[in-house]
Amino acid sequence: MKTWKESMQKGGIDNFNNYLGPSQDYWCDWFIVLGQNRDSNILDQSNFDCVLKHLGGEKENVEVRRFNHWGCGWFEIILVKPESEECKLAEKIKQDLENYPLFDEQDYSNRIWNACEKY
């Protein structure tokens, strides 16, 4: 997993030059688990919500950072504190998602069903 700092140092449209949010000093070295933005599809939304729930929600070692963005409107990322139990769990989740990109089949299926009904 990459830290938020590593991700922002890569350059391009997402870097520290484009960041105008609150001080990131204490969570700059936290690891990014997942992210989503205004244009995320149902799979990404399901994974984001279910992984956050599986990690125990927002708490001392798990934070969701939300940002406005000039390109996609907004985005949010799940961060975990290094060397925490949640970080170990997040590493396992990331490995599992590399092999199979769907975290919770039932949640995803329900979201697809609801979207179809709404349509």
| CA end-to-end distance (rounded Å), the chain | 37
Q: What is the mean pLDDT of the chain?
A: 86
**Stretch (H or E) spanning 79:** strand 73-80
Domain boundaries, the chain: 4-118
pLDDT of residue 25: 61
pLDDT exceeds cutoff 90 at 2 = no
**Tens digits of per-residue pLDDT, 58-72?**
999 999 988 887 777
pLDDT tens digits, one per residue of 24-48? 566 678 899 999 999 999 999 999 9
Instruction: Examine the pLDDT at 117 and tell me if it is beyond 80.
Output: yes
- Residue 101 to residue 44: CA distance in whole angstroms: 9
Q: What does pTM read for this prediction?
A: 0.84
